[in-house]
Amino acid sequence: MAKFVGKQFASIRLDRASEKEFTKWVSETKVRGFDAMERFLGDGYKVSATYVFDKSSFCVSVIGTEVTKPNQDKIMTSWSDELEEAFQIAGYKHYVICDGGDWPTQDNDAPWG
């Protein structure tokens, strides 16, 4: 079982309005899933893909490393029923929404009071 001690999950959500912008971006740039994966790897990120049977979807995880500061020890996930699209979504989240920079993370602090 994977251990996520010291890791934070990125909080980058796409809504239905974002889907149109994503589709337009893919159409205009002609980016393929392999292109996004190759760019992540070239930038020093760890990348993995898993098929999750109970969700009938692929999950692409991009993990920040020491050389990818400020995203060191952060995990960004992207989901789709198509593997290529899951990689494209990951690329869109990082290179377009976050402009290749810092990923916002989930607030893991429990509320008080």
**CB neighbour list of residue 69: distance below 8 Å, 6 or more residues apart:** none
Q: Kindly report, residue by residue over 76-101, the tens digit of the pLDDT.
A: 999 999 999 999 999 999 999 999 99
Helix axes 83-91, 16-29, angle to 10 degrees: 90
Q: What is the pTM of this model?
A: 0.87
In this model, does residue 2 exceed pLDDT 70?
A: no
Q: Kindly report, residue by residue over 46-70, the tens digit of the pLDDT.
A: 999 999 999 999 999 999 999 999 9
Cα atoms in the Cβ-side hemisphere of radius 13 Å centred on 27: 6
Element (H, E) at 79: strand 74-80
Return the structure tokens found at 105. 């993370």
